[in-house]
């Protein structure tokens, strides 16, 4: 079964995946904040947290996303997610354009059903 979303951005390391998706399972009048979601997946536990998007910036090759929970800065090769209050920093590889693993796709599909 094909998932009801498309992956727009995909950054990951051994423990985490930071993903932006666009949902297709919502009414056409749905709020844009519900259609486009930034999520962080903790791979060991399978827990997914929705990141509350606040703003974005881009300058040339560098993209930045600001969330209530932290800050993401990335380019075409890699990125860094910094948790709020600098409580954790995660170095990530930018895998945008790669196919999501079956495990990640299943976790996201399950999360979206709740």
Say what the pLDDT of residue 53 is.
Answer: 96
Say what the pLDDT of residue 88 is.
Answer: 87
The four Cα atoms 18, 11, 72, 32 give a dihedral, to 10 degrees, of -60
pLDDT, one tens digit per residue, over 82-104 is 999 878 899 999 999 999 999 99
Low-confidence ranges of the chain (pLDDT < 50): none
CB atoms within 10 A of CB 57: 10
């Amino acid at each position: 079964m094909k998932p009801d979303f498309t992956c727009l951005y995909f950054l990951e390391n051994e423990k985490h995946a930071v993903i932006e998706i666009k949902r297709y399972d919502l009414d056409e009048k749905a709020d844009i904040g519900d259609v486009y979601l930034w999520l962080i997946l903790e791979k060991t536990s399978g827990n997914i947290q929705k990141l509350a998007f606040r703003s974005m910036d881009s300058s040339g090759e560098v993209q930045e996303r600001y969330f209530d929970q932290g800050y993401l800065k990335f380019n075409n090769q890699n990125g860094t997610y910094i948790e709020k209050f600098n409580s954790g920093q995660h170095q990530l590889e930018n895998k945008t354009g790669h196919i999501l693993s079956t495990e990640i796709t299943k976790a996201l599909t399950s999360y979206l059903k709740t």
